[in-house]
Amino acid sequence: MKLRSPLVLLALAACAPKPVPVASPVAPAEPPAPPPRVNPLLSASTLPYAYPPFDRIQDADFKPAFEAGMAEQRKEVEAITHSPDAATFDNTIVALERSGRTLVRVQRAFGNLNSSNTNETLQALEEEMAPLLSAHDDAIKMDAALFARIDALYDQRAKLGLDPESAQLLERYHAIFLRAGAKLGEADKASLKALNGELSTLSTRFEQNVRAAMKDGGVVVDTLAELDGLSEGEISAAAEAATTRGLTGKWVISLQNTTIQPTLGELKNRALRERIFKASSERANGGDGDNTAIVAKIVDLRARKAALLGYPTFADYALGDETAQKPGAVDAMLDQVGKAALGKAKKEAADLQAIINRQARSEKTAPFTLQPWDWAFYAEQDRKARFDFDQAQVKPYFELDHVIKDGVFYAATQLYGITFVERKDLPVYNPTVRVFEVHDADGSVIGLLLLDYFQRDSKQGGAWMENYVDQTKLLDQKPVIANNLNIPPVAAGQPVLLTFDEVTTMFHEFGHALHGLFANTNYPLLSGTATPPDFVEYPSQFNEMWASDPTVLANYARHYQTGEAMPKALFDKVIAAQDYGGGYATLEYIEAAKIDMVWHELGAGKTPAAADVMGFERAALQGSGLEFAPVPPRYHTPYFSHVFAGGGYEAGYYAYIWSEVLARDTGAWFHEHGGLTRANGDVYRARILSRGRTEEPSALFQAFYGKAPDVGPLLEYRGLDAPKKKK
CA distance 266 to 377: 6
Q: Among this protein's residues, is 509 annotated catalytic? A: yes
CA distance 531 to 259: 28
CA distance 55 to 467: 19
Burial class, 407, CB count within 10 angstroms (exposed 0-12 / middle 13-18 / buried 19+): buried
Angle, CA of 723, 726 and 727, to the nearest 5°: 140
Distances (CA, A) of 407 to 35, 399, 504, 545, 565: 49, 11, 10, 12, 13
Given the residues 509, 591, 601, 617, the one annotated as active site: 509
CA distance 184 to 230: 59
* Nearest CA-CA partner of 642 in 513, 461, 486: 461
CA distance 578 to 143: 53
CA distance 384 to 80: 65
Q: 3-class DSSP state for residue 436?
A: strand
Give, to the nearest 10 degrees, the angle between helix 500-517 and helix 409-416: 40
CA 115, 116, 119, 122 dihedral sign is negative
CA distance 272 to 221: 8
Q: 3-class DSSP state for residue 448?
A: strand
Burial class, 176, CB count within 10 angstroms (exposed 0-12 / middle 13-18 / buried 19+): middle
Burial class, 149, CB count within 10 angstroms (exposed 0-12 / middle 13-18 / buried 19+): buried
- Mark out the alpha helices in 42-86 (DSSP H runs): 62-81
Q: 3-class DSSP state for residue 496?
A: coil
* Nearest CA-CA partner of 166 in 462, 474, 490: 474
Q: CB of 281 within 8 A of CB of 373?
A: no
- Strands (DSSP E) along 145-243, which ranges? 219-221
Which residues are bridge partners to 439 per DSSP?
419, 445
Q: CB of 461 within 8 A of CB of 440?
A: no
- Mark out the alpha helices in 451-579 (DSSP H runs): 500-517, 533-543, 550-556, 568-576
Q: CB of 353 within 8 A of CB of 369?
A: yes
Q: CB of 284 within 8 A of CB of 214?
A: no
Q: CB of 106 within 8 A of CB of 65?
A: yes
Q: Give residue 244's identity as a one-letter amino acid code.
A: T
CA distance 285 to 242: 24
CA distance 650 to 640: 10
**Phi, psi dihedral angles at 248 (to 5 degrees):** -60, 135
480, containing H or E segment: strand 480-487
Which active-site residues does the annotation give?
509
